[in-house]
């Protein structure tokens, strides 16, 4: 009896059970690396355009599609990728998207013609959309409370870092190795992200309806037609039959998309969001900023290399003057909002700064390009 009592009093307590749904330690770092990679590929690819054009004997619209094709599929597929991740599994979509992203960059590095390059960039954009959409969904499902807030704050910060340093690092990489090797490096990192993504916990949304295939196809078709019209109009002319047809067709498909979404049980874009003035105001402000800021990121590196005769590395460093504020301005705005400053005037000030900066860039000249780029970033 005594021995029995002693054994019960001296046995160590069992270790506490580890929660089954606890995310892997690699989950957050892997997703953050994926976010940086996607953001860098959005802002940094334009630095490579002059080198790609010389190597593949391309210019004008075919060369511009190297950037536009990526951005188009990224924008069109983000909604669809997020919806698909909720249905078939967020980890699955993240890993598959990382592999698609990698395949696109590898195809770009090996492409023999500009057509193949454009197709590979479209593939990369679809993969990038899945990385961002599924990555965010994994964080939302894997973290709660303060941990979730920190995870999304880090995700936003790393996206800003990628946008800010993308042109600079891409320029340095292209100057050191060449544009093909630069894209191959991105492909290698993408493969590591796919491998790390397999360590994330799988999750799905509950109570999700059937996939809205009609809405998905219409959304992609509308954006593709409208983007084609906008990109081809400068070369063909706004009155060209092809531009008119694709532009009108894009608007018509967009109207049909709206009708389908109102009748869908599980719409890709909930119509209730479009009736929310706050959501629409934020979306339009984001669109305006993207046109004014990301548009400059696409075309300015080419101008700095072609007109101002800067090397890819020098052009990338000059772009840092424009992108560096992205590293600290979002956090400064958040701090002001947390102190009670209304968000609306901050958004208006930001939009006015974008407009003023773009107006200033209208004075851009080859002789003082770097000094002109520096002024609106101050």
Whole-model pTM?
Answer: 0.77
CATH architecture assignment, domain 25-202+266-377: Up-down Bundle (1.20)
User: Scanning the structure block, which residue is given the tokens 């990121």?
Assistant: 297
Q: Tell me the per-residue pLDDT of 242-281, one tens digit each, with 9 for 90 and over.
A: 999 999 999 999 999 988 888 887 787 778 777 788 778 8
Average pLDDT, the chain: 83
Cα dihedral 236, 241, 245, 248 in deg (nearest 10): 80
- Residue 73: Cβ within 10 Å count: 24
End-to-end CA separation in angstroms for the chain:
82
Radius of gyration of the chain (CA): 24
Domain boundaries, the chain: 25-202+266-377, 212-265
Distance of CA 67 to the CA centre of its chain: 12
pLDDT tens for the 378 residues of the chain, in order:
445 444 444 555 555 444 445 677 888 899 999 999 998 888 888 888 889 999 999 888 888 889 888 988 898 888 888 888 888 889 999 999 999 999 999 999 999 999 999 999 999 999 999 999 999 889 888 888 777 777 887 887 788 788 878 888 888 888 889 999 999 999 999 999 999 999 888 887 776 667 778 888 898 899 889 988 988 888 888 899 999 999 999 999 999 998 888 888 778 777 877 778 877 887 888 788 777 777 787 778 878 888 888 888 888 888 877 777 777 777 787 778 778 888 788 888 888 888 888 888 888 877 777 777 776 554
Q: Tell me the per-residue pLDDT of 65-108, one tens digit each, with 9 for 90 and over.
A: 898 889 888 988 888 888 888 888 899 999 999 999 999 999 99
Extract the tokens encoding 9: 């009093």
């Amino acid at each position: 009896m005594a021995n029995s009592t002693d054994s019960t009093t001296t046995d160590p307590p069992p270790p506490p059970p580890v929660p089954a749904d606890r995310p892997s330690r690699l989950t957050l770092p892997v997703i953050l690396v994926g976010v940086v990679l996607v953001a860098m590929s959005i802002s940094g690819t334009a630095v490579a355009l002059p080198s790609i054009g010389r190597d593949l004997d391309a210019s004008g619209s075919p060369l511009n599609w190297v950037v536009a094709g990526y951005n188009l599929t990224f924008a069109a597929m983000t909604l669809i990728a997020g919806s698909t991740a909720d249905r078939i599994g967020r980890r699955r979509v993240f890993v598959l998207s990382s592999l698609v992203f990698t395949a696109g960059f590898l195809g770009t590095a090996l492409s023999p013609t500009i057509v193949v390059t454009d197709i590979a960039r479209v593939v990369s954009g679809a993969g990038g959309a899945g990385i961002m959409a599924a990555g965010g969904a994994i964080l939302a499902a894997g973290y709660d409370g303060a941990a979730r807030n920190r995870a999304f704050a880090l995700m936003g910060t790393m996206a800003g870092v990628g946008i800010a340093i993308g042109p600079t690092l891409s320029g340095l990489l292209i100057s050191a190795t060449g544009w093909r090797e630069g894209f191959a490096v991105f492909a290698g990192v993408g493969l590591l992200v796919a491998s790390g993504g397999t360590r994330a916990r799988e999750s799905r949304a509950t109570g999700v309806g059937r996939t809205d295939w009609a809405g998905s196809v219409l959304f992609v078709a509308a954006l593709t037609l409208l983007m084609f019209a906008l990109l081809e109009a400068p070369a063909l002319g706004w009155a060209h039959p092809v531009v008119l047809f694709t532009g009108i067709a894009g608007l018509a498909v967009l109207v049909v998309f709206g009708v389908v979404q109102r009748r869908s049980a599980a719409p890709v874009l909930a119509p209730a969001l479009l009736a929310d003035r706050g959501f629409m105001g934020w979306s339009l402000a984001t669109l305006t900023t993207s046109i004014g800021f990301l548009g400059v990121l696409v075309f300015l590196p080419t101008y700095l290399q072609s007109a101002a005769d800067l090397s890819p590395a020098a052009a990338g460093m000059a772009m840092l003057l424009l992108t560096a504020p992205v590293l600290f301005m979002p956090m400064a705005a958040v701090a002001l909002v947390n102190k009670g400053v209304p968000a609306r005037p901050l958004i208006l000030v930001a939009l006015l700064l974008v407009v003023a900066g773009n107006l200033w860039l209208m004075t851009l000249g080859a002789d003082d390009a770097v000094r002109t780029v520096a002024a609106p970033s101050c």
